[in-house]
Amino acid sequence: MLIRRGLHLRVESGLLSGIDLASDDPGTKMMVSVLAAVLEFQRDMISENTREGVAAAEASGKTLGRPAALDPDQAAKVVEAFGKGTAVKVLARQHQVDPKTIRRVLDAAGARELPEQLDVAPSDPGDQPPAPTSDPDVVLDLPVLLADHLRTAGNEAVRRVLASGRTIRRGQGHSLRITAPLELHRAALQQSAALAADTAGPAERKAHRVYAARITAAE
């Protein structure tokens, strides 16, 4: 290919100094072929030695690969907390791991409904939508931190309202504008109470206070 393009590959130093590896003369072509064969042989030997080393380690009972980010006790606590409604992102912060690690632990334990539902907690059989209410619908902006949490910890009625919401920019961040009776807004606030706890971050606690103030102002 180098020859066809009129390019040259000249060795500047070492044993092959001064040789143009892209030259078309028979001697250079033979040397390049030999070098390529030697390099391929070395690569095959490295692969073979690696396979033998892995097989020997497995036979001796050694665990290969990166160590687990969470030990069995921590994994059990994650599954238990998720079953009680704690969000994936909250669990990731508590254990100082990536949310993907939490999802893998939950999937291994069969704690999530479907793999594609990244942050959806198992539904409670008794989790039914509230009875129809005569309260008029109220439009409120739900901070995005609370919306992310409620997509995991919220009940079916709250998640349905979130799905119909519209993302808007508000100040320096984003909110989800939802239309629902005040009763449902209060339910969403209650179900996001974990973000008002001391274990939550400052931004989450502030988002919870802001939403609570909006609900109070609408009453």
* 123 pLDDT above the threshold of 50: no
Q: Using only the alpha carbons of the chain, give its radius of gyration.
A: 30
* 89 pLDDT above the threshold of 60: yes
Residue 208 phi, psi (nearest 5): -65, -45
Q: How far is the CA of 206 from the CAs of 92, 165, 209, in angstroms?
A: 20, 21, 5
The encoded tokens of residue 51 equal 């396979």
**Residue pointed to by tokens 């980010």:** 69
Mean of the per-residue pLDDT values of the chain: 79
| 108 band by pLDDT with thresholds 50, 70 and 90 | confident
* Tens-place pLDDT, residues 158-188: 988 888 888 887 666 778 888 999 899 999 9
Domain ranges of the chain: 1-65, 70-122, 137-218
pLDDT on residue 4: 62
Q: How many CB atoms lie within 10 A of CB 24?
A: 9
Residue 47 buriedness (CB in 10 A; 0-12 / 13-18 / 19+)? exposed
- Distance, CA of 147 to CA of 185 (rounded, Å): 12
Q: Which of 72-76, 116-120, 156-160 has the lowest mean pLDDT?
A: 116-120
* Tens-place pLDDT, residues 20-58: 777 777 887 888 788 889 889 998 899 888 888 888 877
